[in-house]
A and B are shown apart, each in its own frame.
Chain A
Amino acid sequence: MIIGIKDGIKLVGVIIVCFCAVFVCTFFLNFYFDAIAVSGEVSIEMRPLYDAQLATAQLVCAIAGGFLSVIAVVMLVFYIKLFIDGNAKRFGLLKAMGYSSAKISLAFWVFGLAVFAGALAGLCVGYAVMPVIYDALTVDGLDIAIGFHAWLPVALVLAPTGCFCAFACGYARFALRRNAVIMLKGGSGVTRVKKVSTNAVQFLTDMRRGVLRSKKSAVFFVAFACFCFSAMVQMGLSMRDLGSVTMGVIIFIIGVVLSVVAMIMAVTTVVNGNLRNIALMRAFGYSQKERAVAVLAGYIPFAVSGFAVGTVYQYALLKIMVSVIFADIGQTLEYSFDVPIFFVTLAAFVAAYATAMFVYVRKINAVSVRSAMLQD
């Protein structure tokens, strides 16, 4: 087998994102269809709150399902590209022996197993917490019983798994369209002609830029991690003012988990991809600080931007939810930007980011010249 099952199910990032997406969609979709089934029993007084709950379920499913699916696709592309780059010699050898890109790419279906694992776990946990969610979403005077909808496992687990397996094969086929000889030499085979500045740039500046350019997907995931942390932590904490502590806790936890996973994935990739460069800088006498700055400092502006966009996003989303969804409810809900929560989140963000960087700086400083050079 060209790619082992183990390779397919160790995509922790994809598993966690799929878990989160399916977890949220499971109980909201289940609630939505159980609530629809009793719509004839809804009195005129209950109608606004009932409609609001249905609208919330639809909106959350659309946002969580849609947004997280896109993230899962991006992560899958990221993993497959890394896998092909890391095993370029192996795939180059197969191509040299006569295997076509199409034939090799069929083996990448195993990457869809990560989606299956995450989705199945999300579905199971979603069903497990359903009573708690139904309590939180209850409409006084209306009895909405938990029903089982057999098509949910199909729609949330089997169908996405099939789609992602097909997507993994398709993307792999595209990514494998490289010259076999170049792959045998371990190269990506992608040569881009860039505009070259005539100004001589300091090495450390050039190195910092080069690290960013060589791992653009890591830039995305660092920004995404900070966006998730900012948006979902602030949103989770703000939800207590909007009367849904349970939903607040769920959003908070999902936000923290997603941001931690995305950050670990991005920075680990960057550091591992630069081990030899770090070792070389060490051999030449660059200090610990210089080595860490060259590899990690370039991501700070993107982290801050992610946090800022997340803050604006959560404010706009909550404002829209309050003004549109709850507009028809008798009680008036007011939502304004929560400054204390913003500063608490900012402080937590700075502390978490600094801690993550500290951990990776230690890892960078532990890179020995011998071990990095012996990778050949």
Chain B
Amino acid sequence: MITARDVYKSYGATQVLNGVSVDVADGELAVILGASGSGKSTLLSVLSGLERADKGSVVCDGRELSSLTEKQLTEFRRRTVGFVFQQYYLLGHLSVESNVRLGADLVGNKNFRDEIAAVGLADKLKAKPSELSGGEQQRVCIARALAKQPRVLFLDEPTGALDEATGRSVLDYILKLKAERGFTAVMVTHNRNIAETADKVITVNSGLVTDVTQVALPKNAYEIGW
């Protein structure tokens, strides 16, 4: 599903990625594990087409991202990928329903309320983000991302801003929905325990992939430490 080869990326004088190569198979949950400043979020941005690599090749869902024009890249994100961010980035002036429609309308998904129900928020359709807890807001983000029926879901520290109980609950939703629907997922985290839920763990340090581990028996959200 995703193949990156010798990817370099810098911001000004700061070299963030130094020739990264990764592979993520179709339907796989890959966790990019690394400390703060290791380049893991930048790698996610490059793999998802949010940003272009300075050098190297990124093929996602059969498309070489570096060869796409800005318009084609927008179309690629529209059709192929979904995002869940650590800081939620919900539209504060819109209801839960409208926030989820942000994703659903892109692909004409009329069943967006099912997505909200799938994350356990069927009774919060008309609530504003400010009326929700952190865990509920992150679940809205998951519903928003899945409402556009992505082939690949990118998650940037989805539980990073949550306490243990809420974090486990959100992670559980992600894992269950992934198992049900079979999409590919790439999740960035600094938490080694969360990495135990993945099919593959890609460890990043100083802009380089230092280790790739295939996990034989991934754990669920309640079997791992925190």
Contact = CB atoms under 8 A, between A and B. Distances in A.
B101 A206 contact: yes
A323 interface: no
Interface string A179-197: 0000000010001000010
A289 to B, nearest CB: 11
B173 interface: no
B98 A285 contact: no
A202 B75 contact: no
B87 interface: yes
Contacts of B74: 282, 285-288
A282 B131 CA distance: 26
Given A206-B94, A207-B94, A369-B50, A284 B130 contact: no
Contact of B93 (A213, A285, A287): A213
Given A191-B130, A277-B91, A286 B98 contact: no
A352 interface: no
B28 to A, nearest CB: 22
Interface in A97-122: none
Contact of A210 (B45, B91, B126): B91
B71 A210 contact: no
A288 B69 CA distance: 13
Interface string A298-332: 00000000000000000000000000000000000
B97 A370 contact: no
Interface string B50-89: 1100000000000000000001001111110111010101
Contacts of B89: 276, 280, 373
B93 A210 contact: yes
A236 to B, nearest CB: 39
Given A280-B102, A286-B78, A373-B87, 14 more contacts: A191-B131, A201-B101, A203-B101, A203-B102, A207-B91, A210-B93, A214-B93, A283-B50, A283-B77, A284-B82, A285-B75, A285-B78, A287-B74, A368-B51
B35 interface: no
Interface residues on chain A, size class:
20 to 34
Given A210-B93, A284-B83, A203 B51 contact: no
A204 interface: yes
Nearest to A215: B93
A281 B95 contact: no
Contacts of A214: 93
Pick the most buried of A201, A203, A204, A288: most chain B CB atoms within 10 A of its CB: A203
A36 B19 CA distance: 83
A376 interface: yes
A285 B50 contact: no
Contacts of A368: 51
A1 interface: no
A200 interface: yes
A285 B102 contact: no
B201 interface: no
Contacts of A206: 94, 98, 101
Interface of B: 45, 50-51, 71, 74-79, 81-83, 85, 87, 89, 91, 93-95, 97-98, 101-106, 126, 128, 130-131, 148
Contacts of A281: 102
A365 to B, nearest CB: 9
Contacts of B76: 285
A202 B110 CA distance: 10
A203 B45 contact: no
Nearest to B95: A196
A207 to B, nearest CB: 7
A202 B74 CA distance: 20
Contacts of A376: 87
Contacts of A196: 95, 126
21 contacts: A191-B131, A196-B126, A200-B101, A202-B101, A203-B101, A203-B102, A210-B93, A210-B98, A280-B91, A281-B102, A282-B74, A283-B50, A283-B77, A284-B77, A284-B102, A285-B74, A285-B76, A285-B77, A285-B106, A369-B50, A370-B51
Contact of B83 (A207, A283, A286): A283
Nearest to A211: B93
Contacts of B77: 283-285
A203 B85 contact: no
A206 B100 CA distance: 12
Nearest to B78: A285
Nearest to B99: A203
Contacts of B83: 283-284
B32 to A, nearest CB: 17
Contact of B94 (A200, A202, A210, A288): A210
A272 to B, nearest CB: 15
Contacts of A213: 93
Interface in A251-306: 276-277, 280-288
Contacts of A286: 74, 78, 106
A370 B78 CA distance: 18
Given A191-B130, A213-B93, A284 B101 contact: no
B109 to A, nearest CB: 11
A203 B131 CA distance: 20
A284 B91 contact: no
Contacts of B93: 210-211, 213-214
A373 B85 contact: yes
Contacts of A287: 71, 74, 78
Contacts of B105: 202-204
